[in-house]
């Protein structure tokens, strides 16, 4: 697939509260064509845009996301923690996010970020909404996850959706097998320990290489020299300008 050089991390996370509609709009306002964001499920099975397993860090509430119903989460303030001017920003539903992405003309790297034990269910709900909402005339979104069981659902339910295997900083001993078995299009790695040799190995196997989360222009330029195709950044406009 045609990957962008830069994608905004959780929208434009340095400029607006992450994984909110405000953050998506900010990325678009800064001229960024692709964004990355996270999908997980509420207690009553509604897909929402949220990263953590707990509400504590990015809302005015506490406790596990998996124990909170959508109606409760919907009423939370997801912006004041970032800056007073974002007071009242809410946690978007996945449906809302897809509608805004469509309206803004953005490409998307959708990360399936399930709460523990909900890997299959989260992927199933996400795929169903993507198939319902994503415009058929536009290139499909890239679906990524650290969870191979989630990507397996995507492969089985919607094989035409490109898949990306996410790796933690220390990699994963089985990444070659997993990427092959899941028929992945891309491999996503941390920018902290990426080397020219590892980048070359990934690219030689035919995978697109996506690197997260890089906010230093000099490191971004070095990574691009390794053959990296896409960099995910909290400051995507700065990185795009630098490379």
- Residues annotated as catalytic (active site), given as ranges: 9, 51
For the record, the structure tokens of 40 come out as 């997980």
Residues ≥6 apart with Cβ < 8 Å to 206: none
Q: Burial letters for 82-98: b for 16+ Cβ neighbours within 10 Å, e otherwise?
A: beeebeebbbbbbeebb
Q: DSSP for the chain?
A: ----SEEEETTTTTTS-TTSHHHHHHHHHTT--EEEEEEEE-TTS-EEE--SSBSTTTSS--SBGGGS-HHHHHTS--STTT-GGGTT--PPBHHHHHHHHHHHT-EEEEEE-PPTT-HHHHHHHHHHHHHHHS-TTSPPPEEEES-HHHHHHHHHH-TTS-EEEE--TT--TTHHHHHHHTT-SEEEEESSS--HHHHHHHHHTT-EEEEE----HHHHHHHHHTT--EEEESSHHHHHHH-
> Tokens 């491999």, residue?
187
């Amino acid at each position: 697939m045609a990957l962008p050089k830069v994608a905004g991390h959780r929208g434009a996370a340095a400029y607006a509260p992450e994984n909110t509609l405000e953050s998506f709009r900010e990325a678009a306002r800064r001229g960024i064509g692709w964004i990355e964001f996270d999908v997980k499920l509420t207690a009553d099975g509604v897909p929402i845009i949220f990263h953590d397993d707990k509400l504590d860090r990015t809302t005015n509430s506490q406790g596990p996301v998996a124990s909170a119903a959508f109606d409760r989460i919907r009423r939370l303030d997801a912006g004041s923690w970032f800056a007073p001017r974002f007071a009242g920003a809410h946690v978007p539903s996945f449906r809302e996010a897809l509608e805004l992405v469509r309206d803004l003309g953005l490409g998307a790297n959708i990360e399936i970020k399930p709460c523990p034990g909900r890997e299959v269910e989260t992927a199933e709900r996400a795929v169903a909404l993507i198939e319902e909402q994503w415009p058929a005339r536009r290139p499909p979104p890239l679906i990524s996850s650290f969870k191979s069981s989630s990507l397996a659902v995507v492969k089985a339910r919607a094989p035409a959706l490109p898949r990306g295997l996410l790796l933690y900083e220390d990699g994963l001993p089985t990444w070659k097998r997993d990427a092959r078995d899941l028929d992945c299009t891309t491999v996503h790695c941390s920018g902290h320990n990426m080397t020219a040799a590892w980048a070359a190995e990934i690219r030689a196997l035919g995978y697109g290489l996506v690197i997260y989360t890089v906010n230093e222009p000099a490191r971004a330029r070095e990574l691009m020299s390794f053959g990296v195709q896409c960099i995910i950044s909290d400051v995507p406009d700065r990185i795009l300008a630098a490379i």
